[in-house]
Amino acid sequence: MPTTTPIDKFFAGKELARQLFEAVRARIEAIGPAEIRVSKSQIAFRRKTGFASVWVPGQYIKSEVPLVLTIGLRRRDDSPRWKEVVQPAHGRFTHHLELRSLAEIDEEVHRWLQEAWEAAA
On the question of pLDDT at 112 being above 70, the answer is yes
Q: Per residue in 62-74, pLDDT tens?
A: 899 999 999 999 9
Domain assignment present for residue 1? The answer is: no
- Look at residue 64 and tell me if it is in a domain: yes
Range with the lowest mean pLDDT among 12-16, 60-64, 96-100, 104-108? 60-64
User: What is the pLDDT confidence band of residue 20, given thresholds at 50, 70 and 90?
Assistant: very high
Give residue 58's pLDDT.
Answer: 84
3-7, 67-71, 97-101: segment of lowest average pLDDT: 3-7
Q: Report which secondary-structure segment, H or E, holds 71.
A: strand 67-73
Structurally, the chain folds into a number of domains equal to: 1
Range of the domain at 113: 6-119
Please report the pLDDT score of residue 4 as a whole number: 86
